[in-house]
Amino acid sequence: MLEKNPDALKFLQTRRSRPAKTLALPVPDRDALLPLLTAAARTPDHGKLEPWRFIVVEKPAMARLADIAEARGRALGLDAEQVAKGRGQFDQGNLAVVVVEVQKPSAKVPAIEQSYSAGAVCLALVNAALASGWGANWLSGWPSHDRGFMTEAFDLAEHERIAGLIHIGTETSVPPDRPRPEISEITTWLSK
């Protein structure tokens, strides 16, 4: 049996993301970010495919991404509110890590398991940031699902897509906790 780590369990039972709009400067520098990326890359990865990679978006790149999101939103015919929301996460962002899902051909590992692995990387990165004292939030939104945005903003290939944009920074306010699931209502026990 593994050695118990009650502090880690308590952290996982009480962790909560911080709204991206409440994250401010300072943000982790490259030396502080590398251990977080290392922790995220320790996610389950059937077949050792590494079906994900990272793109670190620093503040100077955020304005370009905001402009691309706005142009794409207009080209897609989205309403002003949707365009503003797509642009906003980049206008307000100071540092984000784009977790890119990289689908790899495999006879043993189905595409959906590769998607699950990329999603697990996103959560692991949020948790690593929170455990390190940073505020963090996993965002997506329409730009992360728009092929035109993915291509223009990050030069993603056809077999790649955005699994999540993980915003990381200094927490400026603590949001109230949200209601959590009642475990007894979502758990089934099978004994035979």
Mean pLDDT of the chain, nearest integer: 96
Average pLDDT over residues 29-46: 97
Is it the case that residue 1 has pLDDT exceeding 90?
no
| pTM reported for the whole predicted model | 0.95
Cα–Cα dist 131/126, whole Å: 9
Q: What is the pLDDT of residue 93?
A: 95
Cα–Cα dist 17/123, whole Å: 10
Coil vs helix vs strand at 127: helix
CA atoms within 13 A on the CB side of 101: 22
Peptide linkage before 181 cis (omega within 30 of 0)? no
* Residue closest to 132 by CA, chosen among 6, 3, 11, 2: 11
Q: What is the pLDDT of residue 176?
A: 84
Q: What is the pLDDT of residue 75?
A: 98
H-state helical runs in 93-176: 111-131, 147-154
Q: What tens digit of pLDDT does each residue of 127-154 get?
A: 999 999 999 999 999 999 999 999 999 9
Give the architecture-level CATH label for domain 20-172.
Answer: 3-Layer(aba) Sandwich (3.40)
pLDDT-derived band at 174, boundaries 50, 70, 90: confident
User: Torsions phi, psi of 124, nearest 5?
Assistant: -60, -40
Q: List 168's β-bridge partners, or say none.
A: 136
